[in-house]
Structure 1
Amino acid sequence: MATIQLGIIMNGVTGRMGTNQHLIRSIMAIRQQGGVQLSNGDVIMPDPILVGRQEHKLRALAETHGLERWSTNLDECLADPHNRIYFDSQTTVMRSESIKKAIAAGKHIYTEKPTAESLSDALELVKLAREAGVKNGVVQDKLFLPGLIKLKRLIDSGFFGRILSVRMEFGYWVFEGDWQPGQRPSWNYRKEDGGGIIVDMFAHWRYVLDNLFGSVKSVSCLGVTHIPDRIDEQGKRYDCTADDAAYATFLLEGDIVAQVNSSWAVRVDREDLLTIQVDGTEGSAVAGLRNCRSQHRVNTPKPVWNPDIPNPFAFREQWEQVPDNQLFDNGFKIQWELFLKHIVTDSPFPWDLLEGAKGTQLSELGLASWQERRWIDIPELTV
């Protein structure tokens, strides 16, 4: 049995997602479990080097987790042959150029999304990676959430019959920063800094819709900036130049209609921050991040509309829980393990830079639909 050490450059890991989901709950969790076990008995052991611009944050993060490797010099890290993988969780405006450097250095690429600020830049990354012959992957974490895994189980079983529609509600209230500090960085609300909920969330909705229900064929989108100004991290008021809510309709393969509301200006009155209702000819289901409830055709009750009496129905009690039937690990960690196996054993990993570019494409066309107030078809991407 051999231990395969994989040096991983983790750029931008001092940010919220980089620290919590990618470093602590993925890479450190993999190290603590003894690595990724392969079928031949070998073990992949990730060896991260933390990279960023602020030395004090990197040093503190490394010391907290018992890591010795950290650097503020990306070029030196890229020049080290021990580091075979480059991971990027920086802000979107900085991501593309760093990935290009890593590709030029011959590193395999794993990155957060959006992969670039524009579709043309995202497709350039695909082209460069193919020409360099480096493996690549994009984080598509929601596919590995327990609720969506259960939903996929229902879809694959034929539970729904012909799927008719999908309704997705996502979001929560992000504090404006005056009474309480905002729980999202202020750049999210400045278009010039890569902010906006369409750019952020459509990258997710593309892979969720494509992988669960069918390819997205067209989009109609309305974006809104509900909160016109906020207070930043330094206590200064700033103008919000990016959208904080999006109300979209997508037409999917098979004429499935998907209605998707995304908002950072909505108070939660549902079972989870994300809920997905799927209705089909034979049954329906509602999935959240961890749970999924179903209602089959033979168990569908008969509600009666009578506005003259109090509602006698407890509708949510009329659904059945889809059981776990398995242990669910952290979704980010699951995909990290699959990518590490892909690098070492060449096992399949379909979530590549081209899949990431599809998310950027949908964001661009969603923004165009909003600006032009019309439906827009989604062309097939070619490189």
Structure 2
Amino acid sequence: MRTQRIGIIMHGVTGRMGMNQHLIRSVLAIRDQGGIALKDGSYLMPDPIIVGRNADKIEALAKKHGVERWTTDLDAALANEDDAIFFDAASTQLRPTLLRKAIDAGKHVYSEKPVSEGLDEAVAIAKYAKEKGVKNGIVHDKLDLPGLVKLKRLRDSGFFGKILSVKGEFGYWVFEGDWMPAQRPSWNYRAADGGGMVSDMLCHWRYVLDNVVAPVKSVSCKTATHIDRRWDENGEVYEATADDAAYATFELEGDIVAHINSSWCTRVRRDDLVTFQIDGTHGSAVAGLHKCYSQHRVNTPKPVWNPDQPQTLDFYADWEEVPDNAVLDNGFKVQWEQFLRHIVEDAPWHYTLTEGAKGVQLAEAGYQSARERRWVDLPDLEI
């Protein structure tokens, strides 16, 4: 079996998301399956080098997972011409500088989101990558979740008829950290460190709505810091200055109205940690991370409002589960395979840093809307 190597510089993969989803379940999973089958009959084999500041932590991670190469010297890693790709999953604040440095070193770049904390910076780095002629990508992990794959399949088939509206519910209770340790890092709740629900999640909702439903045209957003005091990883109390909830309404192309509640201060009583419901003239569907349920108009019950007696209809029973009909792999891994094919075979790739800038644009517009208590339009970006 012929194989060809592709070197990947992976920065910031000691964190939960970078380590679990990108290193272990994507790049190493591709390696362990024998690589990616290419059109010419060969296999593409990723060869990662992991980079971080803490030598002991990086070395331990490398040894645990059979990664032969690791370093604390990012400049030396970027100088190695045998490694073609730079990936970043570290701090959003440092990301534009790191991506620019990697682009200057001639690397193709792939990064977690948001691509930056501000729109001007996001547009600038997207333009820079385009000018330098390097291939580039932004993680868009929600799109390859099985639930959303099925939801998009329904849209593409015409199942919904005319789409009318979208309802999204996202989030769960993140413990404050006093009597129960918090399950998210403390920086997420400090504005000065780049925390905030809007900056964290509206970039996701941009590509989900754009690609699964219709392009976003404007936003009206209300933010909140419901819990203003939390406890950090060392048990020290700190002031929570970032928004921990966002209640956003979007106008989409085609006069579609979407509303998504995002909160770290809600207790879950729904099918999954995130659910999206699309309602159309011919049918409706609800998707979580993995499952999707649909209800066609011919299967829609006819409830009658009667507050004087308990409800007799089981509203869940009238929905049918949408089958997988295909092997649906880990969404992060699917995107890594797509991006690697884009690098070596020039396979189609839509999710460039320009798409990342669109996510930052929506987050910035969401904050502007909350400050000014008004709708904010999203003009086309010139990149």
What TM-score, normalized to structure 2? 0.99
* Pairing of 1:197-346 with structure 2 (within 5 A): 197-346=197-346
User: d(CA) in 1 for partners of 2:67 and 2:242?
Assistant: 38
User: d(CA) in 1 for partners of 2:158 and 2:98?
Assistant: 43
2:158 is matched by which residue type in structure 1? G
Post-superposition shift, 1:206? Answer: 0.2
Q: Partner of 2:24 in structure 1?
A: 24
2:374 is matched by which residue type in structure 1? R
* Pairing of 1:31-110 with structure 2 (within 5 A): 31-110=31-110
Q: Which runs of 4+ in 1 moved over 4 A?
A: none
Q: Partner of 2:153 in structure 1?
A: 153
User: d(CA) in 1 for partners of 2:39 and 2:134?
Assistant: 24
SS at structure 2 position matched to 1:92: coil
SS at structure 2 position matched to 1:120: helix
1:117 aligns with 2:120: no
Post-superposition shift, 1:277? Answer: 0.6
SS at structure 1 position matched to 2:254: helix
SS at structure 1 position matched to 2:93: helix
SS at structure 1 position matched to 2:333: helix
SS at structure 2 position matched to 1:221: strand
1:124 is matched by which residue type in structure 2? A
Offset from partner CA, 1:246-275 (integer Å, 9 cap, x none): 000000000000001000000000010010
Q: Partner of 2:356 in structure 1?
A: 356
Offset from partner CA, 1:265-306 (integer Å, 9 cap, x none): 000000100100100000000111100000001111111211
Post-superposition shift, 1:2? Answer: 3.1
Post-superposition shift, 1:95? Answer: 1.0
SS at structure 2 position matched to 1:117: coil
Report how many residues are paired: 383
1:106 is matched by which residue type in structure 2? G
SS at structure 2 position matched to 1:230: strand
User: d(CA) in 2 for partners of 1:333 and 1:68?
Assistant: 21
User: d(CA) in 2 for partners of 1:161 and 1:319?
Assistant: 17
Offset from partner CA, 1:217-245 (integer Å, 9 cap, x none): 01000000001010001111000110000
* Pairing of 1:124-143 with structure 2 (within 5 A): 124-143=124-143
User: d(CA) in 2 for partners of 1:378 and 1:131?
Assistant: 24
1:236 is matched by which residue type in structure 2? E
Post-superposition shift, 1:131? Answer: 1.3
SS at structure 2 position matched to 1:93: coil
1:365 aligns with 2:365: yes
Flag structure 2 segments of 5+ consecutive residues without an equivalent: none
Flag structure 1 segments of 5+ consecutive residues without an equivalent: none
Post-superposition shift, 1:39? Answer: 2.0
Q: Partner of 2:179 in structure 1?
A: 179
Q: Percent identity?
A: 63
Post-superposition shift, 1:311? Answer: 1.1
User: d(CA) in 2 for partners of 1:380 and 1:168?
Assistant: 24
